Structures are given as structure tokens and as C-alpha cells.
């Protein structure tokens, strides 16, 4: 019996693809036949991901190129490399790279941390969209998926610049979906809840923040990268051909309730008054 690979003959670029959600997405697309290029800042991590990826026999493949998503020239290079691997314009781009260097009360946000977080998340996604979507248009259409967060729409107190940056991603995707629809390019955002990755290992290991997540999640388990990869696979495939401009939460239902409380973790850093915005008079 022959196996059908729904994404055979298509090319994809996944940013932040060396681990976690990005690697799970890349592996899922390749398993369905796509030629996938992953990019990230660490050449060693990318090469290890490609070497150890558990792909079934078939037409799909994984490739890697080092690129910082906040560097426009690097993103241009990553798109070109992905096109070279695929033998032509891309069919899908997944902007997954993100993270946070800022946390704490808004009255104590450092400008450098704010800038680093918004640049990585929002500007990085914009650059992937700008150059990735141009490739999709050249190929006659395709799918762009941004990995956002429930923090972009559900209030997460003291998440610093991360929530606002993810909210910007959501609006960027809606706007781009309207602009690019006439070129048959679909643009959607996926908003994970708490997913078991290295970035949040301190939370998933247990403690009051995990308890806060759990009590506000109807399907009360930690999400897995494969949960996100499954939705992304749907969004890049022909099954979602008439779906664009959507912001979709994959969070076990957490968005029905509220975001987590970090108070027990960060109060020792800022004090109870600090959490409600009290700072010394700078004058």
C-alpha cells in the first residue's frame, strides 16, 4: 500500500526551529512530505535538531540555516536558503521565534528589556512575514502562521513586554490576512497556552505558578509541542484553504478563565507594594 504525503512538493521555513514548538512543527511538516528549513541563532542546536529528527521514510526533509530573526538581512538569507532547498518559492512560513527578557510591574520595566522582547517577538515576526509572504506570493499563494500566545489576549499581570508584543503579532496577522488574501496567501496566528518546553521548565516542574495555570485550565494538563504542531499542520494544508485572519488559542481552555498569577514568584523581587506599581520618586 502506497503512502500519501499531503505536503509533498512544498517548501516551508520555520523560524526558531531548533527546539520546542518550532522543532515539533518542522518535524510534523516534514513527516507529511514538506521540504522544511529551520532557522535560529545557534548553528549547533540547528544541526543537532536535523541530525536527530525522527522522520519517517518519505519525501520530506529537514535543513538548517543560522539566522537571527531580528536581522533583516539574515531573514532574507533564510528565505532564499529555504527556497533553494525546496527548488522554488515557499508554500508555508511559520514564525515561531520568540521569548522574553522582561517581567515585573509596568512601573519598573527596563527599556532595554522592553526593546529586546518586543523586537524578538513582534519585529521578528514582521520580518518573517515581510520576506516570507513575498515568497508565498511569488509561488501563487500559501500559508503564513505566527506562533503568538494566550498572553496576547488574556491578561497575564507582570508579563512585561511579552503580552503586548504578542498582541501586536495577533493584529499584524489580521492586517496581513486582509492585504494578502487577493494573492491567495492565508495568514493566521496560533496562541499556545502553557507548553512543555525548555523556556518554561521552571514553571512546568511544579510550584505556585503551575498550580495557577492548572486551576484555570479545564483540560488540566500541560500542553505538548505536538499539540501546537497539529494545528499548524492543519493551517498550512489544503484542509484550511478558506481560513484566514484568525487568532486561535490552543490552551486546554485556559482562555475561558484567566491568566496565571506570578505573584508568589516575583513578589520577593519587587515587594507587595512594587507589584501594585509603587516606585521611589525618581526626582
Catalytic residues: 162
Q: For 71-100, give one letter per residue: b (16+ CB within 10 A) or e.
A: eeebbebbbebbbebbeebbbbbbbbbbeb
Q: Is 108 exposed, middle or buried (0-12, 13-18, 19+ CB in 10 A)?
A: middle
- Write out the H or E segment, with its range, that includes residue 95: strand 92-95
Instruction: Return the beta strands (E) in 137-179 as ranges.
Output: 142-147
Query: Sign of torsion, CA 196 201 202 207?
Result: positive
* Residues forming beta bridges with residue 144, ordered by sequence position: 93, 187
H or E stretch including 26? helix 20-31
Amino acid at each position: 500500500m502506497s503512502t500519501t504525503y499531503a505536503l509533498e512538493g512544498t517548501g516551508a521555513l520555520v523560524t526558531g526551529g531548533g527546539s520546542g514548538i518550532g522543532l515539533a512543527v518542522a518535524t510534523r511538516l516534514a513527516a507529511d512530505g514538506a521540504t522544511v528549513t529551520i532557522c535560529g541563532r545557534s548553528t549547533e542546536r540547528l544541526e543537532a535538531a536535523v541530525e536527530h529528527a525522527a522522520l519517517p521514510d518519505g519525501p520530506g526533509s529537514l535543513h538548517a540555516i543560522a539566522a537571527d530573526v531580528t536581522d533583516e538581512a539574515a531573514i532574507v538569507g533564510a528565505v532564499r536558503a529555504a527556497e533553494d532547498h525546496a527548488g522554488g518559492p515557499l508554500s508555508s512560513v511559520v514564525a515561531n521565534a520568540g521569548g522574553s527578557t522582561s517581567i515585573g510591574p509596568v512601573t519598573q520595566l527596563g527599556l532595554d528589556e522592553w526593546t529586546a522582547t518586543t523586537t524578538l517577538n513582534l519585529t521578528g515576526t514582521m520580518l518573517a512575514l515581510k520576506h516570507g509572504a513575498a515568497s508565498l506570493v511569488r509561488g501563487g499563494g500559501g500559508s503564513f502562521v505566527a506562533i503568538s500566545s494566550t498572553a496576547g489576549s488574556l491578561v497575564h499581570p507582570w508579563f512585561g513586554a511579552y503580552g503586548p508584543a504578542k498582541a501586536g503579532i495577533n493584529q499584524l496577522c489580521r492586517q496581513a490576512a486582509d492585504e494578502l488574501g487577493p494573492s491567495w496567501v492565508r495568514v493566521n496566528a496560533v496562541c499556545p497556552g502553557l507548553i512543555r518546553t525548555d523556556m518554561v521548565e521552571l514553571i512546568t516542574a511544579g510550584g505556585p505558578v503551575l498550580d495557577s495555570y492548572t486551576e484555570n485550565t479545564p483540560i488540566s494538563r500541560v500542553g505538548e509541542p505536538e499539540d501546537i504542531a497539529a494545528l499548524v499542520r492543519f493551517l498550512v494544508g489544503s484542509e484550511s484553504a478558506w481560513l484566514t485572519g484568525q487568532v486561535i488559542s490552543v490552551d486546554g481552555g485556559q482562555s475561558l478563565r484567566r491568566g496565571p498569577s506570578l505573584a508568589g514568584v516575583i513578589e520577593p523581587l519587587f515587594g507587595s507594594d512594587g507589584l501594585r506599581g509603587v516606585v521611589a520618586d525618581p526626582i
